[in-house]
Structure 1
Amino acid sequence: MRAVVYTESGDSSVLELVEREPAEPGPGEVRVRIVRAGINPTDWKFRAGGMGELAFPEIVPGQDGAGVVDAVGPGVTGFAVGDRVWTMLAQHTRPGGTAQEQVVLPTANVTALPDATSYDVGASLGVPAVTAHRALTTSEDGPTRLAPGALAGRTVLVAGGAGAVGNAAIQLARWAGATVVSTVSSTEKGDLATAAGAHHVVNYRDGDTVASIRALAPDGVDLVVEVAPAQNLALDVQVIKPRGTIAIYANNGGDEVNLSVRATFSTNARFQWVLLYTVGEAALRSAAEDITAALVDGAYGVGEDRGLPVHHHPLERTADAHAAVEGGAVGKVLIDVADD
């Protein structure tokens, strides 16, 4: 089988296409024939050495993918050869990710993909959708699971609604019944956030952002899904409702945060840090189940009409796919590993 590997940290040129024998699944594992693989910022950050030394001598990148089960290990129940599935955290604690034709994974990292859901959508879930789910379900007064009506009567502010996680948060929050406000940096990105389902869009480069958000939510927002805390937390504190939650999942715009203690503690707000690698199995499984329910309802998708343009690259051009994500491509970058 073909696989993309790297054996040293560096830019995308360290990625190499090689031939490898497919591994056999062990107890509690399945082997998935990958049709489509998704690229996330964590993939290039791991490859570039931004997460520390390489955990394995040779690594196949890729946390997210979608495909078909083609082998089942001993003791596996709930999956059979021929099942369509999507993956999460495929390369977290293992050397082999989704940028290869076949990958062996524990069943905990695999979820059934509804028949009506494309492989493009399946490969776009994983990191973005599960991160968004976690951000939306950790509030003091909010739900721990998402379903239609779970966020009814609540206002969610999504920073960066044109990004992959922002797009997922908008779609899931809208499905769960929230009123969704999104901040963006341009008219074009505002159009994407609107296509994702945002009820209101605020261009933070145009006018008083706090006033604009407060005009939409006079009592404050219940929840903020935050991508750039170094830049935005001062604003978030001004628009959060008492006992609201600011869920932070990335460090775009800087690693350090300065806050006024007085202005912050007066909100009684919760700061929730979100990183998938340590959220625990229960949170991952809840997210997988709820996201799949949204797929069945037709409430989640990718493409221009869903506010997330899709960019395809063949497996042999995985380096180009990494470079596109590292360069800030707007939309979802996917690798075409095999025909549908």
Structure 2
Amino acid sequence: MRAITYDRFGPAAEVLVLEDLPTPNPAPGEVLVRLHNSGVNPSDIRARAGGRPGVTKPPFPKIVPHSDGAGVIEAVGEGISKARIGERVWIWNGQWQRAFGTAADYIALPSVQAVTLPDQTSFETGAILGIPGMTAVHAVLGGGDVAGKTVLISGGAGTVGNLAIQVAAASGATVLATARGESGLAAAREAGAAEVFDYTSDNLADQILEATRGALVDRIVEVEFGKNVETNTRVIAERGTIAAYGSAKDMTPVLPFYPLMFKAVTLDLVLVYLLSEAVRSTAIGSLTGLLEKGALDFRISETLDLTECAKAHDLIAEGNRAGSVLLKC
């Protein structure tokens, strides 16, 4: 099978190699998936570039990158029903703590990590569900029902942020969002945000509170925790939750501890790779329900051939995109 591999950290064009590897055989409890698409995420780029704190070399001698993907089950290992053969599925944690991910023609992995893809959902959409889709759903709904509540989504033009707006709106919340630039603000508004704010504004918190007539926000979905913690502390309600899934611009933030404590704020640090079995099952159920209702619109910026993996990594690293980047396997 064709596979993209790397054995050292470095620039995408220098370390990513197209190889012909043996097609894996599914072990007991596993399924073999013929991949149609592989999703490329910022975490894949950081892993390949050696950008994770404290990691000085790849954890395996050879790595096939990418955790997200979608395709069809072609074979099953011992203990898995043959009825799964032919099933359309999407993948989660394809390359999390494993050597071989989805940037290949095939992947063999535990059966539970291949989730049934609704009939009306495309393989392209399926390749976005593992990290962006699950992060958005868990960040919005991980604390329970948001119907009738006010939810603020940071970075509403980004892949996760835009999906989070849609999840919150479809779940009955009043949605506020931040973004930047005319196109970003428009994208957040089109996704379902009732009010949209430019996150570069010096008086962002004042603008939010003016729009809500002083009412505080029940839940915040945050992509830049450290940079926005002061604003969020001002606008969050008592017993509210800040669900943060990123803090790239300030990786060692200082907290306004007492202002947060005296509102009894919950800080939920969202990492979908490490969800418990029960929490993941709930999130998958919520995501499947939204897909079946047609409530989510997944924006795709580029779909490239598997052989153009390095270009896909560079597109993600540049950051100038309006949607996900996929590979056609």
Aligned partners of 1:12 and 1:319 also within 8 Å: yes
SS of residue paired to 2:229? helix
Deviations, residues 131-165 of structure 1 (Å, cap 9, x unaligned): 122222343xxx1xxxxxx3211011010011111
- Partner Cα separation in structure 1 for residue 111 and residue 203 of structure 2: 48
Shift of residue 129, structure 1, vs aligned partner: 1.4
Which residue type is aligned with residue 301 of structure 2? Answer: V
Shift of residue 262, structure 1, vs aligned partner: 3.3
One of 229, 237, 249 as aligned partner of 1:253: 249
Q: Unaligned regions of 5+ residues in structure 1, if any?
A: 144-149, 304-308
For 2:125, the equivalent position in structure 1 comes to 121
For 1:336, the equivalent position in structure 2 comes to 328
Q: Unaligned regions of 5+ residues in structure 2, if any?
A: none
Which residue type is aligned with residue 212 of structure 1? Answer: Q
Aligned partners of 1:224 and 1:246 also within 8 Å: yes
Which residue type is aligned with residue 207 of structure 2? Answer: S
For 1:50, the equivalent position in structure 2 comes to 51
Within a 5 Å distance, the mapping from 1:85-100 to structure 2 comes to: 85-100=89-104
Within a 5 Å distance, the mapping from 1:289-300 to structure 2 comes to: 289-300=285-296
One of 217, 234, 238 as aligned partner of 2:234: 238
Aligned partners of 1:311 and 1:334 also within 8 Å: yes
| RMSD value, Cα | 1.5
TM-score normalised by structure 1 residue count: 0.91
For 1:147, the equivalent position in structure 2 comes to none
- Whether 2:74 is the aligned partner of 1:70: answer yes
Shift of residue 18, structure 1, vs aligned partner: 0.6
For 2:308, the equivalent position in structure 1 comes to 317
- Whether 2:170 is the aligned partner of 1:178: answer no
One of 209, 212, 222 as aligned partner of 1:214: 209
- Partner Cα separation in structure 1 for residue 222 and residue 161 of structure 2: 9
Aligned partners of 2:163 and 2:298 also within 8 Å: no
Shift of residue 65, structure 1, vs aligned partner: 0.6
One of 275, 282, 300 as aligned partner of 1:279: 275
Aligned partners of 2:26 and 2:75 also within 8 Å: yes
Q: How many residues align?
A: 323
TM-score normalised by structure 2 residue count: 0.94
Shift of residue 230, structure 1, vs aligned partner: 1.6
Deviations, residues 85-136 of structure 1 (Å, cap 9, x unaligned): 1111100121111100010111121111111111111111111111122222
For 2:12, the equivalent position in structure 1 comes to 12
- Partner Cα separation in structure 2 for residue 100 and residue 174 of structure 1: 36
For 1:302, the equivalent position in structure 2 comes to 298
SS of residue paired to 2:45? helix
One of 144, 148, 156 as aligned partner of 2:151: 156
Deviations, residues 152-203 of structure 1 (Å, cap 9, x unaligned): 1101101001111112211211121111111011111011112222222111
- Partner Cα separation in structure 1 for residue 270 and residue 83 of structure 2: 30
For 2:136, the equivalent position in structure 1 comes to 132
- Partner Cα separation in structure 1 for residue 293 and residue 132 of structure 2: 19
One of 225, 229, 240 as aligned partner of 2:225: 229
For 1:21, the equivalent position in structure 2 comes to 22
